[in-house]
Amino acid sequence: MLYNYYGARNDWNSISSFLWPSFKDTATAGFWRQVQIKNNAEVLNTPLISMSRSGSVTPNVVGMGLKDALYLLENMGLKVTAVGRGRIMNQSLIAGTNFKKAQTISLILN
What is the band of 43 on the pLDDT scale with cuts at 50, 70, 90? low
Residues 6 or more apart from 70 whose CB is under 8 A from it? Answer: 80, 82
Per-residue pLDDT at 101? 92
- The amino acid at residue 109 is L
Lowest mean per-residue pLDDT among 13-27, 39-53, 68-82, 84-98: 39-53
* pLDDT of 1 over the 60 cut: yes
- DSSP per-residue letters across 40-61: TEEEEEEE-HHHH--SSBPP--
pLDDT tens-digit map of 48-69: 554 444 568 888 888 889 998 9
CATH of segment(s) 55-109: 3.30.10.20
Would you list the domain boundaries of the chain? 2-49, 55-109
In angstroms, rounded to a whole number, what is the distance separating the alpha carbons of residues 27 and 93?
Answer: 27
Decide: pTM greater than 0.95. no
